[in-house]
Amino acid sequence: MAPKLRDLIITYNNLANPDGSALFCQGNTIVQAYVFGPVDVSNSKERSEKASLFVTFKPKNSYEIRKELYENYIRTVLETIIHLDMHPRTSISVILQEMQDDGCLLSAAVNSACCALLDAGIPMKCMIASVTSCISVDAIQLDPNKEASQKSDGSIVLTFESSKNGIISVTSEGELTFDNIKEAIKLGCLASKEIYDFYHKSMKKRFLINS
Amino acid sequence: MLCLPGDTVTEDADYMRGHGTYYKSKVLTSSVAGCIDKVNKLLSVRPLRTRYNGEIGDIVVGRVIDVQTEHKRWRIDTSSRLDTILLLSSVNLPGGELRRKTVEDELMMKSFFKEGDLISAEVQSIFADGALSVHTRNLKYGKLGQGVLLRVSPSLVERRKTHFHNLPCGVHLILGNNGYIWISLPVSEGVESGGFAINLDPVPLADREVISRVRNCILALAKQKMMLHSTSINTCYEISQSYQVKDLIKSKIMTEIAQLTNEKMKIEELQ
Amino acid sequence: MQRLKPKSIPSCNKNFIFTAVKDDKRIDGRSSKDFRKLSIGFGLDYGSSVVSLGDTRVMCNITYQIAEPKAVKSCEGLLNIRVDLTASMIHTYEKVVEIMRMIEKNVKDSRCLDLESLCIISGEKVYALETDIIVMNDDGNLPECCSIALLASLSHFKRPDVSVVEDKIKIHSFDERHPIPLNILHYPFCTSFTFFDNSKFVCDPTQAEEQVCDGYLIVGSNIYREITTIHISGKSAITKDVVLNCCQLAIERSKFLTNFVKLVVEQDLKKRSTEGAEIGYAPLIRESSSVLCSYKKEEIELQEVQENYDDDDVIIDLEVAQNTKMYRYASDTVGIGEGRGQNWDFIDEFQENVENDENEDMYIEDEETTNNEDEPDSKAKQFSKRSKNSNKYQEITVEDDLSEEEVQILNPPEFK
């Protein structure tokens, strides 16, 4: 079964101040990511062997409670793939601003962080792609919108990396059976390849002489 | 050739690793999104945008941010990740004398370089945390006077033997490795300025036009992400003669002259 | 979170901006009283908007909560405003507080929102509106952009309908009952003016101009000619006439902004009621609309009209073409007239000093000289004189006791 992702659109470098910025749309879920770094850091926060990574997730409405959870997830994922030891005693800040939420917010945030890091030229080991699947009554749906995910029994967010197509991180909510998880991983693998293709195409456009 | 992080650059063990790459179990892989650059046996990946990573021997153009008398140094902004440092012991005293730095020199630091001054310098060493230490101990480095400063991405300036050029069109060009480019009036060979005195004579209109034209040419090349060196800038200058200086900032014309420059250089390379 | 150091401006750039302003010229080609292109986009949810004024981009989101009212005002709802400047990372804490306080003063103290309509059970439960103003890109003139974003979001926002049954509150979902928009009594917009050299001022400064200026004045006003807030800062010493002139300018600007915001909100609400229409930010990003992506203003070259021309081509008179410059701002917007010197003057109500503009070019715009696309945000339409036959331009009614209805077209020699 070929996975069907919603339309992906990306705009790079649309903010003047940050070193790298990307506006990522997955259907109607839109996240703006920007990256500052590597920059100076105060003595208390500096680490002598690697760069300190700060991730801030800013939800649309500032009183939301999910943000710590999302920040931790995204930070662990990014710490695996960024070459932090290339820039010791500096800090890299990644800020994600939620603009519109129509389901799969965490996946969209991870993908947009990856694109902003690409734009900033920060050395990474490989690319990452994140997909969400939701399960309702034994039917599994890839990349659900808000309505579908609210009606579902459970959902799982998988983050893949491009070098061996391995899974870096998993997080789930609700009830899932073992078969559901296997199915989700299969679908996710296929979907992540589409996402890598999309990154490739969008980057290529930036290097063309007439764009 | 475009590659993204994680893509294999080469599996050949002969090549040396340059910037933007890393070894993943003996296979050279890219760590940034960019074009592969091959210079003899050195492979590196050049990203579109990056902060400047200094190397010893680089020429940089920077602006003085502040003067720290108690530490006997100046902090320079070179668009790198940590501020560049210019130590008092790394400058020539005015007049070119060589003597020990005294307490009076410390207090006179502001009269040498003050905040906002533009200087050209060479990277002497790198501190443990990655900050660069520069020196101006040569008479060709020092304070920059009247001219135009351009900021482009550091990846567009190649490392070459000299970065100081006197172009045949009549300008003096300093291509800083950090992406800061300085265009000014030609400096006659053999003049020992000492690096502190700047020439404030009024610049005639014809010279100003030449400088503006060179500036617009460099911006056109930078927009098309072409490498900047004296040949490409010179070729672009000659091609741009068919347009007026003020027309050179229109994006269509910028694309056109950059493409023509590209073609002309390819032809010259083949010859 | 690290604070970056702001890029210092070289002194020759500073001097250039100063000398240019003295001659009524600016670096981006505008004249001192021209504003940048304004575009507003709305998101999927009600109350979410992005406003971009040139390259300055601000997003505003509004949600609601049910909360207890304040003890002293037990039958009024609550409005909480928060401003977030982390994207620019170069502003000091004081600047954040300054902007926040100004927006609060402008919107809350002027009572532009009818808070009593947000009351559900007096003394116990009211609607509390949480507003988040997020600055995405700072290229100068933040107070104006933030106030536009806030008012656009407030006029776009809809709250769910409630019914009170005995002591229980039932909140109806949007499908059950139509949501209710907020009751906005008037629209107070901020306009900022920056001063160079105590008398010359420019409207809508860019970031470079803001860093270099001597002082600035922010005026909040609405279409009823009420001044809701005035804030002067910096080191320039400005006279009373200049302040009054700026207030008049601000009133004109807020008239334009009020109409523009109402129009854009109406268009968006109409789109939502039609089936299958695309709403939200995604279609804006797909079309690279100037709201979310930076644009570069480009001059358009005109060609002589040939025999057969398409309906898509836009034709203008040769005389007009020779005297004006045309700029393309985005894929769908073209403007004429930006940067031409001012052709009008202030009629001083108090008959004291008059600010004389240098420009002698008294050019009366005919009916043909309209903007090519009837964009409501065209700059050429602002501050232009009203010719006898045209109804398209805004009226500058400064004197109330003028016997004629139209504005007098002044010639500088009359003011001696």
> What CATH number did the domain enclosing A193 receive?
3.30.230.70
DSSP string, C325-374: -EEEEETTEEEE-TTPPP------TT-S-----S--------TT---SS-
Q: H helices within C123-166, ranges in order?
A: 142-156
Positive or negative CA dihedral for C85, C88, C89, C90?
negative
Give me the number of domains chain C comprises: 2
Do C213 and C148 fall within a single domain? yes
Do C19 and C154 fall within a single domain? yes
Residues 6+ apart with CB under 8 A from B255: A209, A210, B220, B223, B224
Say if A1 falls within a structural domain: no
B:C CB pairs within 8 Å = 15
What is residue C314's predicted lDDT score, i.e. its pLDDT? Answer: 62
Do B164 and B211 fall within a single domain? no
What is residue C155's predicted lDDT score, i.e. its pLDDT? Answer: 93
Residue with tokens 């103003």: C133
In the predicted structure, residue A109 carries a pLDDT above the cut 90 = yes
Say if A2 falls within a structural domain: no
CATH number of the domain bearing residue C40: 3.30.230.70
For A114, which residue in chain B has the nearest alpha carbon?
A: B5
> In this complex, is the C-beta atom of C306 within 8 Å of any C-beta atom belonging to chain B?
no
Digit-coded pLDDT (tens) for C120-139: 888 888 899 999 999 888 88
* Gyration radius of chain B's alpha carbons: 20
Residues of chain C with pLDDT under 50: 1-2, 349-408, 410, 412-416
Interface of chain A against chain B, CB under 8 Å? 13, 19-20, 37-40, 81, 83, 87-90, 118-127, 161-163, 196, 199-200, 203-204, 206-207, 209-210
* Neighbour count for residue B121 (Cβ, 10 Å): 27
Instruction: Say if CB C218 and CB C179 are below 8 A apart.
Output: no
C296 contacts B65? CB cut-off 8 A? no
In the predicted structure, residue B196 carries a pLDDT above the cut 50 = yes
What is residue C265's predicted lDDT score, i.e. its pLDDT? Answer: 92
What is residue C339's predicted lDDT score, i.e. its pLDDT? Answer: 65
Do B223 and B108 fall within a single domain? no
Q: What is the mean pLDDT of residues B12-27?
A: 84
Provide the shortest C-alpha distance from residue A61 to chain C (in Å): 6
Do B37 and B67 fall within a single domain? no
What is residue C365's predicted lDDT score, i.e. its pLDDT? Answer: 36
Do B63 and B171 fall within a single domain? yes
Question: Is-cis flag, bond preceding C205, omega within 30?
Answer: no
Do C38 and C187 fall within a single domain? yes
Provide the shortest C-alpha distance from residue B116 to chain C (in Å): 6
Q: Which of B29, B82, B258 sits opposite A40 (nearest CB)?
A: B82
Say if B195 falls within a structural domain: no
Do C167 and C310 fall within a single domain? no
- Between C409 and B79, whose confidence is greater? B79
Residues of chain B positioned with their CB less than 8 A from the CB of A88: 129-130
Range of the domain at B152: 59-184
Range of the domain at A14: 8-207
Provide the shortest C-alpha distance from residue C308 to chain A (in Å): 30
What is residue B164's predicted lDDT score, i.e. its pLDDT? Answer: 87
Do C196 and C316 fall within a single domain? no
Instruction: Say if CB C67 and CB A51 are below 8 A apart.
Output: no
What is residue C362's predicted lDDT score, i.e. its pLDDT? Answer: 35
End-to-end CA distance of chain C: 58
Say if C184 falls within a structural domain: yes
Q: What is the mean pLDDT of chain C?
A: 75
What is residue C297's predicted lDDT score, i.e. its pLDDT? Answer: 67
pLDDT bracket for residue A77 (50, 70, 90): very high
Q: What is the mean pLDDT of chain A?
A: 85
Provide the shortest C-alpha distance from residue B70 to chain C (in Å): 21
Give me the number of domains chain B comprises: 3
Instruction: Look up the ipTM and state it.
Output: 0.85
Interface of chain B against chain C, CB under 8 Å? 63, 65, 77, 115-116, 118, 149, 250-251
In the predicted structure, residue A120 carries a pLDDT above the cut 80 = yes
* Neighbour count for residue A152 (Cβ, 10 Å): 21
pLDDT bracket for residue A209 (50, 70, 90): low
In the predicted structure, residue A28 carries a pLDDT above the cut 60 = yes
* 3-state SS assignment for residue C92: coil
Q: What is the mean pLDDT of residues B109-113?
A: 81
Buried-exposed string A41-55: b where 16+ CB fall within 10 A, e elsewhere:
beeeebeeebbbbbb
Q: Which of B48, B81, B224 sits opposite A206 (nearest CB)?
A: B48
pTM of this structure: 0.81
Say if B190 falls within a structural domain: no
Digit-coded pLDDT (tens) for C82-110: 888 877 666 677 778 888 888 988 888 88
A:C CB pairs within 8 Å = 98
Do C222 and C329 fall within a single domain? no
Say if C283 falls within a structural domain: no
Taking each continuous run of H as one helix and of E as one strand, the counts in chain A are 4, 9
Give the rounded percent of residues in chain B with a pLDDT score beyond 90.
6
What is residue C360's predicted lDDT score, i.e. its pLDDT? Answer: 31
Pairing mode, if any, of strands B132-136 and B84-91? parallel
What is residue A1's predicted lDDT score, i.e. its pLDDT? Answer: 44
* 3-state SS assignment for residue A185: helix
CATH number of the domain bearing residue B151: 2.40.50.140
CATH number of the domain bearing residue B36: 2.40.50.100
What is residue A108's predicted lDDT score, i.e. its pLDDT? Answer: 92
pLDDT bracket for residue B100 (50, 70, 90): low
Digit-coded pLDDT (tens) for B206-265: 888 889 999 999 998 888 888 888 888 888 888 888 888 888 888 788 888 888 888 888
Do B66 and B26 fall within a single domain? no
Pairing mode, if any, of strands C48-53 and C119-121? unpaired
Digit-coded pLDDT (tens) for B57-76: 889 998 888 888 788 888 88
Digit-coded pLDDT (tens) for B132-164: 899 888 878 888 888 888 888 888 888 788 888
Range of the domain at C61: 11-275
Domain final position from C214, C247, C275:
C275
Give me the number of domains chain A comprises: 1
Say if B222 falls within a structural domain: yes
Residue type, C327: Y
Digit-coded pLDDT (tens) for C210-235: 888 888 899 999 899 999 999 988 88
Do C269 and C314 fall within a single domain? no
| CA-based nearest residue to C242, from C193, C174, C286 | C193
In the predicted structure, residue A206 carries a pLDDT above the cut 50 = yes
Digit-coded pLDDT (tens) for C10-38: 777 888 888 888 888 888 878 888 888 88
